[in-house]
Structure 1
């Protein structure tokens, strides 16, 4: 009976958080195959350590695991660039005009390149706050930072992106989604 309840709980957690974790990991790795593998690794870690999770938000705990999994992957592979073309190719375009589509693709590539050149801490906070739209508190919990560090690093990262892209920061986040 207890195993059945645990199994149901794990399935519920997986179904509830899978797409958010996958989206975070695809943003971090830029590769759908790596993101899929890492997502599975995250949920294996969640399953193996679920009994140890006693306090705090389950969602932030899972994203903390995802962040550490992504960083471990990053360190293992020693990427020169975290983001790959595949992330922005997966974003469907609502434009029908081929010229507008080409312009948007170029714009997304520019965002992709600018984000990929951010240091890992800035990249993580931009993905969590700007793309995944986590609150400051959730982002702080996931990254194990203070809320003020999240605010400062997010502000600094957006300032760098704005400077690199020479555009309005809100436009960067809106078009990255």
Structure 2
């Protein structure tokens, strides 16, 4: 199969997964340009895809790296604040924005985004998007043991941040 046909198939199969990942990662629904950038970069670097992992995890790794670059270009806190304000003023919300619909989820969303980047990354990939430790290790380019340890520490950090007993049940559902 030619690279062009393969990337088209991947786009069809994984566009929504990349889109959802970037929404959670960047805290905005305005990620279509970045999604396209992921597939363009994937196409340009297809010769580096070793086929030892699932194409989706490889593409999410690319998406994560592009998102990190995007965050570095803008002051992260200004971007997050303006995006949250925009989300709350819009009347038509996408299904992916369910996480912002009620106050508890909004507080949890803010707490997750206040975590250090490695904790935030693993909570999004493992807790929200529900990838296995093995898939998360491919996406984050970490060893599986590091994924598990960092995820455990991130959940503990979230519990400390929220400091409310009413949150423990909700955090346990993320922790699985």
TM-score, length basis structure 1:
0.80
Quote the residue 1:112 is aligned against.
Answer: 109
Which residue among 158, 162, 170 is the counterpart of 1:161? 158
Quote the residue 1:38 is aligned against.
Answer: 34
8 Å contact kept, 1:17–1:59 = yes
Structure 2: runs of 5 or more not aligned: none
Deviations 1:117-147 (A, max 9, x none): 0011111100000111111011111111111
> Distance between the aligned counterparts of 2:49 and 2:143, measured in 1?
21
Are residues 54 and 23 of structure 1, via their aligned partners in 2, closer, same or farther at CA, if it must alter by over 3 Å? same
How much does 1:55 deviate? 3.2
RMSD over equivalenced CA pairs, Å: 2.7
Quote the residue 1:65 is aligned against.
Answer: 62
Moved over 6 A (4+): none
8 Å contact kept, 1:131–1:173 = no
> Distance between the aligned counterparts of 1:55 and 1:93, measured in 2?
33
Quote the residue 2:48 is aligned against.
Answer: 52
SS of residue paired to 2:102: helix
Deviations 1:101-124 (A, max 9, x none): xxx611111111101100111111
> Distance between the aligned counterparts of 1:127 and 1:154, measured in 2?
10
Structure 1: runs of 5 or more not aligned: 95-103
Quote the residue 1:142 is aligned against.
Answer: 139
8 Å contact kept, 1:81–1:117 = no
Quote the residue 1:79 is aligned against.
Answer: 76
Are residues 45 and 92 of structure 1, via their aligned partners in 2, closer, same or farther at CA, if it must alter by over 3 Å? closer
